[in-house]
Amino acid sequence: MTVSTPPTKDAYDLILDAIDQGIYGPRDRLVEAELAERFGVSRTPIREALQRLETQSMLSRDGRSLVVASLDHNQLAELYAVRSALEGLAARLAAKHATTEEVRVLYDLIAADRGIVSDPRKLSRANRRFHGQIHLASHNRYLVQQLEMVHRSMALLATTSLAVDGRGSEALDEHEAIVKAIEAGDEDAAEAALKAHISHAYETRLKVDAGGL
């Protein structure tokens, strides 16, 4: 059955969104003809999108097939290290440049997210929106572009650390600490709070992968 999709999105964005939403997870095989039917587009743009995603390491080869890539232990560590550094910088710049309206939006997002804390999948999507707003509040387009690439790679993780019992509420409390530092214009505190937040998320994920949670 053909899925009705907005005309503004190309095949590349459609496949990325499907990976991001968990429709296709790590090691899932992507078939050109099936994708063309799902999204109601021709096979040529699908083929081009798959090639682009493979170049960006979002997809990998399994024999002759293309599958959604997965991250090993070392890749996970590298991803979180880069994310911590860039997100910390975003928070620091947001503390310097964020407008009053942007800070209010961040608080509103936290308040709304507390209503979905029991739904890890929804909370995971909301979490990306929250971090995306901090990126925008940094008022640095180049940093925003780099963080988009990092968060794109986060979609290669099969599960969310927010599914761990109690982690959702804890993460939202950490979000609030970040926004308070941004609101106060305290660049050091904002950077430290966001880096601590990423560190806690990484530690939780390691425990999940080790079977400790």
Determine whether 193 is exposed, middle or buried from the number of CB atoms within 10 Å of its CB (0-12, 13-18, 19+). Answer: buried
CATH number of the CATH domain containing 60:
1.10.10.10
Reference 203, options 177, 173, 164, 172; nearest CA is 164
Out of 2-16, 79-93, 94-108, 124-138, pick the least confident: 2-16
Residues 92, 144 share a domain: yes
State the Cα–Cα distance between residues 81 and 172, nearest whole angstrom: 21
Q: Tell me the pLDDT tens digit for each residue of 81-122.
A: 999 999 999 999 999 999 999 999 999 999 999 999 999 989
User: Of all residues in the chain, what percent carry a pLDDT higher than 90?
Assistant: 71
Tens-digit pLDDT profile for residues 164-189:
989 999 999 999 999 999 999 999 99
Residue 7, pLDDT above cutoff 60? no
- The string over 35-44, giving b where at least 16 C-beta atoms fall within 10 Å of a residue's C-beta and e elsewhere, is bbebbebeee
Whether residue 4 is predicted with pLDDT greater than 50 in this model: the reply is no
Res 1: pLDDT = 42
Q: How confident is the model at residue 213 (pLDDT cuts 50, 70, 90)?
A: low
- The verdict on 145 and 46 lying in the same domain is no
183 and 146 co-located in one domain: yes
What percent of the chain lies above the pLDDT cut of 70?
A: 95
Q: Which band of pLDDT confidence, cut at 50, 70 and 90, is reported for residue 127?
A: very high
86: CATH: 1.20.120.530
- Structural domain boundaries, residue 29: 11-68
Which pTM value belongs to this model? Answer: 0.82
- In this prediction, residues 53-69 reach a mean pLDDT of 90
Residues pairing with 66 in the sheet:
30, 61
Domain boundary among 68, 96, 113: 68
